[in-house]
Amino acid sequence: MKNIRFATVSLAYSAIALSAIALTGMIAVAAVPAASNQSAPAAAASTAKVERGKYLVNIMGCHDCHTPLKMGANGPEFDMSRALTGHPQDLKMPPAPALPAGPWAWMGAITNTAFNGPWGTSFTMNLTPDKETGLGDWTEEQFIATMRTGKHQGKGRPVLPPMPFFNLGHLTDGDISSLFAYLRSLPPTHNRIPQPIDPPEARQ
């Protein structure tokens, strides 16, 4: 009789334990969609931010200088295989010719990525998130400060023409943040840009 009672009690405890395990599993499974649902708005906001940045890049002419031109069937066109990578590192520019006296003030490379004028010679930057040659090591705060101050990372050398930082500086922090988010979403491309060259009078 005792053996029967012991077996009955053991079965009861086993049933309780199995029920607890099953309930725990149900709770764990039920928690997964909840976590996913909580992260969905954040993911949607991140996607919207990147799309906003892409829109701004396209309407503000960032490709005009930061994506090299190539000669197409109908004339110069963007080389989108090098989108936003700046001046091609394999294009070695000779010294800029001296401009004659007159109304001409500056000149540009056939790729529209190198420019020469009273400021010297400037090369457009690699905007992809490559850590060595692009924006990979930049913070969002440094990017915003560059647009606001016209100085490299907000504290370095001046940003040179034709970069229109004086226009971009009027963007909201939110829009500049969206620009940075989009640029960070691009494939990193290793493309080392030459350092700016001072005008002849500054090198004397």
DSSP state of 92: P
DSSP state of 103: S
Q: Which domain holds residue 139?
A: 62-203
For the chain, how many structural domains are there in total? 1
User: H-helix or E-strand containing 116?
Assistant: strand 114-117
pLDDT-derived band of residue 37, with 50, 70 and 90 as boundaries? low
Could you tell me if residue 133 is inside a domain? yes
Q: pLDDT at position 44, please?
A: 78
Q: What is the mean pLDDT of residues 120-146?
A: 97
Q: What pTM value is reported for the model?
A: 0.78
Could you tell me if residue 71 is inside a domain? yes
69 phi, psi to nearest 5 deg: -85, 150
